[in-house]
Amino acid sequence: MATLQIRLDDSLQSRAKEVASGMGLDLSAAVRLFLTQMVAENGLPFRPRADPFYSSANQAALRNSLAQLNEGRTVSKTLDELERMADGN
Protein backbone atom coordinates (compact mmCIF):
# COMPACT_ATOMS: atom_id res chain seq x y z
CA MET A 1 0.00 0.00 0.00
CA ALA A 2 1.32 3.47 -0.91
CA THR A 3 1.26 6.65 1.14
CA LEU A 4 0.28 9.98 -0.40
CA GLN A 5 1.49 13.13 1.30
CA ILE A 6 0.15 16.53 0.25
CA ARG A 7 0.61 20.09 1.45
CA LEU A 8 -2.44 22.29 1.85
CA ASP A 9 -3.68 25.28 3.74
CA ASP A 10 -4.73 24.54 7.35
CA SER A 11 -8.10 26.19 6.80
CA LEU A 12 -8.79 24.09 3.70
CA GLN A 13 -7.88 20.91 5.55
CA SER A 14 -10.14 21.81 8.47
CA ARG A 15 -13.09 22.67 6.22
CA ALA A 16 -12.57 19.55 4.09
CA LYS A 17 -12.51 17.40 7.24
CA GLU A 18 -15.85 18.91 8.30
CA VAL A 19 -17.42 18.17 4.90
CA ALA A 20 -16.06 14.62 4.85
CA SER A 21 -17.21 14.03 8.42
CA GLY A 22 -20.70 15.18 7.48
CA MET A 23 -20.73 12.35 4.93
CA GLY A 24 -19.45 9.81 7.44
CA LEU A 25 -15.92 9.80 6.00
CA ASP A 26 -12.51 10.75 7.26
CA LEU A 27 -10.31 12.87 5.00
CA SER A 28 -8.22 9.89 3.85
CA ALA A 29 -11.35 8.01 2.74
CA ALA A 30 -12.59 11.11 0.92
CA VAL A 31 -9.30 11.44 -0.97
CA ARG A 32 -9.38 7.71 -1.85
CA LEU A 33 -12.93 8.15 -3.12
CA PHE A 34 -11.85 11.12 -5.24
CA LEU A 35 -8.92 9.17 -6.74
CA THR A 36 -11.11 6.12 -7.37
CA GLN A 37 -13.60 8.27 -9.30
CA MET A 38 -10.77 9.97 -11.18
CA VAL A 39 -9.49 6.60 -12.39
CA ALA A 40 -13.00 5.33 -13.20
CA GLU A 41 -13.77 8.43 -15.29
CA ASN A 42 -10.26 8.73 -16.72
CA GLY A 43 -10.28 12.38 -15.69
CA LEU A 44 -11.41 14.67 -12.93
CA PRO A 45 -14.70 13.58 -11.35
CA PHE A 46 -16.10 17.07 -11.78
CA ARG A 47 -16.08 19.78 -14.41
CA PRO A 48 -13.68 22.57 -13.45
CA ARG A 49 -15.08 26.00 -14.22
CA ALA A 50 -14.48 29.56 -13.16
CA ASP A 51 -16.80 31.10 -10.62
CA PRO A 52 -18.75 33.83 -12.49
CA PHE A 53 -18.48 36.02 -9.40
CA TYR A 54 -14.83 36.63 -10.28
CA SER A 55 -15.45 37.50 -13.93
CA SER A 56 -14.07 40.85 -15.02
CA ALA A 57 -17.57 42.08 -15.94
CA ASN A 58 -18.99 41.22 -12.52
CA GLN A 59 -16.00 42.71 -10.71
CA ALA A 60 -16.43 45.95 -12.72
CA ALA A 61 -20.14 46.05 -11.84
CA LEU A 62 -19.32 45.52 -8.16
CA ARG A 63 -16.71 48.31 -8.23
CA ASN A 64 -19.25 50.60 -9.88
CA SER A 65 -21.90 49.75 -7.28
CA LEU A 66 -19.43 50.33 -4.46
CA ALA A 67 -18.42 53.70 -5.94
CA GLN A 68 -22.09 54.71 -6.17
CA LEU A 69 -22.67 53.63 -2.58
CA ASN A 70 -19.61 55.56 -1.38
CA GLU A 71 -20.87 58.65 -3.25
CA GLY A 72 -24.23 58.35 -1.50
CA ARG A 73 -26.04 57.51 -4.74
CA THR A 74 -28.48 54.90 -3.44
CA VAL A 75 -32.11 54.03 -4.13
CA SER A 76 -34.44 52.41 -1.63
CA LYS A 77 -37.28 50.20 -2.86
CA THR A 78 -39.62 47.84 -1.06
CA LEU A 79 -39.82 44.23 -2.18
CA ASP A 80 -43.28 44.91 -3.61
CA GLU A 81 -41.91 47.81 -5.67
CA LEU A 82 -39.06 45.66 -7.01
CA GLU A 83 -41.46 42.85 -7.90
CA ARG A 84 -43.71 45.27 -9.79
CA MET A 85 -40.66 46.60 -11.66
CA ALA A 86 -39.68 43.04 -12.58
CA ASP A 87 -43.22 42.34 -13.80
CA GLY A 88 -43.16 45.49 -15.93
CA ASN A 89 -46.03 47.17 -14.05
Q: Domain segments of the chain: what residues?
A: 10-41, 52-87
CA distances from 47 to 7, 10, 50, 80 (A): 23, 25, 10, 39
Q: Given 3-state DSSP classes, what are the helix, strand and coil percentages for the chain, each rounded to the nearest 5?
A: 60, 0, 40
Cα–Cα dist 86/83, whole Å: 5
pTM for the predicted model, two decimal places: 0.56
* pLDDT at position 84: 92
Say which DSSP state 55 is in.
Answer: S
* pLDDT at position 42: 97
* Residues 51-81: tens digit of each pLDDT: 888 889 999 999 999 999 999 998 888 999 9
* Residues 3-45: tens digit of each pLDDT: 999 999 999 999 999 999 999 999 999 999 999 999 999 999 9
